[in-house]
Amino acid sequence: MANKKKKRKPYSFLARLVATISWCTVILLTLCSLSVLVSPRLFGYVGVFGLGFPFFLFGVLTMLFVSLLLAPRTAWIPLVGLLLNFISIRNYYPVNISSPPPKGSVKILSFNTAAYGGGKVHDAGRKIAEYMAKSKADIICVQEADVDASYMKNDILPLMRRHTPHSDTVRDGRSSTLQCFSRWPIAEKKLIASEGNNVCAVFKILLGPTDTLHLINVHLKSVDLSNDERNEFSGIVHRKDSLNSEVLQKKGRTIVSKLSASSEKRAQQVDQLAAYLEAHQGENIILCGDFNDTPISYAHHRVSTFLKDCYAATGNGLGRSFMRYGMIVRIDNIFCSSSHWKPFSCRVETDINLSDHYPISCYLKRKRDNSK
């Protein structure tokens, strides 16, 4: 009997160690999920905490594997953690059964074109326009549209008018311009939220004589990092930076501070956007654009309080929509009012790389009760 007790002690210590580490990862993951409830305007760094979600999730999954391998009786801890954070996990990495869109669906496309390629690739503006035209989307929302470029009038607008004859723009007088192409007439436009060079606007589209769609095109506050800082962030994420730890810590603090400041400004813009959504609850709304933030964020949570996330409802996988600087995450979104639309086949289209974003598309089928 004495020998048996001695054999249990090492296992008992290992089990306690595994349980302790498991609880730590579960608590961190849960705090990350709950961080979306706190406005970065109250505490700026909470907006940065959400970026750690995939790392904390990886930690919980790792501890589940370790528990099953070394201490099976503690495996319930990471399992509980996964269950507690199921909604956040599903928003970040949805898994859905694919279903083709029914006839009569409306196709929505949202694309941050980076000024239609920004002249970095020869004839990029025309190639992007050709891509959007071939998509046969009924409504297209463009962020960072270079409407003053000569090719806009000569090339892009003639191409787009074949399928989407109506178009309009909203700008804040600086560099940020939102553009809308539509099969249906655009009756009105209005700027509803602004933060520096980033704006949100509504285009009121007449789907019928008494049927007005509030199409909201958003470009939320960017992260305000220089290209060098973005590359440094990528190096830190992928552990490619060869600088010593002291320099890395200093650079890391600078980057985190900037991310925190931009998240505060983004939250202010999101609150303006949410005020519009609250004032128009029950109305026909589609919202899409560049959030400059992850699915685990205050911005995403605030909008999803009023509207359905089409990618979370019908998409699959991470849906990476920003292709640079180590950002392996979805920052572009399409939302809809769930009482008016049912989404199908939302996906990030990775077959064009002329911008730093991939376009995101979705099919929306009008619900019968609101089809008149």
Do 82 and 203 lie in one domain? The reply is no
Q: Tokens for 262, please give them.
A: 């931009």
Q: Summarize the confidence of residues 265-281 as an average pLDDT.
A: 96
Do 43 and 113 lie in one domain? The reply is no
The CATH number linked to 320 is 3.60.10.10
Give me the half-sphere count of Cα atoms (radius 13 Å) on the Cβ side of residue 183. Answer: 12
For the chain, what percent of residues have pLDDT higher than 70?
85
Do 67 and 111 lie in one domain? The reply is no
Q: What is the pLDDT of residue 216?
A: 98
Q: Does any domain span residue 253?
A: yes
Do 218 and 320 lie in one domain? The reply is yes
**For the chain, how many structural domains are there in total?**
2
Question: Domain limits at 363?
Answer: 107-370
- Asked if 143 and 290 count as a contact pair (C-beta separation under 8 A), the reply is yes
Q: Does any domain span residue 220?
A: yes
Q: Identify the residue with better confidence: 311 or 172.
A: 311
Q: Does any domain span residue 99?
A: no
pLDDT in tens, 19-60: 999 999 999 999 999 999 999 999 888 989 888 999 999 999
pLDDT in tens, 138-175: 999 999 987 777 677 777 888 898 889 999 999 875 65
* Three-state secondary-structure class, residue 218: strand
Helix (H) or strand (E) holding 219: strand 211-219
From 41, 69, 92, give the residue that closes a domain: 92
Q: Does any domain span residue 266?
A: yes
Whole-number Å distance between alpha carbons of 6 and 75 = 24
Q: Which residues contact 351 (CB under 8 A, 6 or more apart)?
A: none
Do 113 and 63 lie in one domain? The reply is no
Do 76 and 192 lie in one domain? The reply is no
Do 328 and 182 lie in one domain? The reply is yes
Do 143 and 241 lie in one domain? The reply is yes
Do 199 and 69 lie in one domain? The reply is no
Q: Does any domain span residue 66?
A: yes
- 136-140, 171-175, 206-210, 282-286: which has the minimum mean pLDDT? 171-175
Sheet holding 332-336, edge to edge: 186-195, 198-208, 211-219, 285-290, 332-336, 308-309
Q: For residue 252, which of 272, 269, 237, 274 has the smallest C-alpha distance?
A: 237
- Helix, strand, coil percent values for the chain (each to nearest 5): 45, 25, 35
Q: What is the pLDDT of residue 372?
A: 46
Q: Which residues contact 361 (CB under 8 A, 6 or more apart)?
A: 107, 108, 109, 110, 135, 137, 334, 346, 347, 349
- Asked if 138 and 106 count as a contact pair (C-beta separation under 8 A), the reply is yes
From 92, 118, 133, give the residue that closes a domain: 92
pTM of the shown model: 0.89
Q: Which residues are paired to 5 by β-bridges? A: none
Q: Does any domain span residue 101?
A: no
Do 131 and 201 lie in one domain? The reply is yes
From 44, 60, 92, give the residue that closes a domain: 92
Do 210 and 273 lie in one domain? The reply is yes
Do 233 and 334 lie in one domain? The reply is yes
Q: Does any domain span residue 177?
A: yes
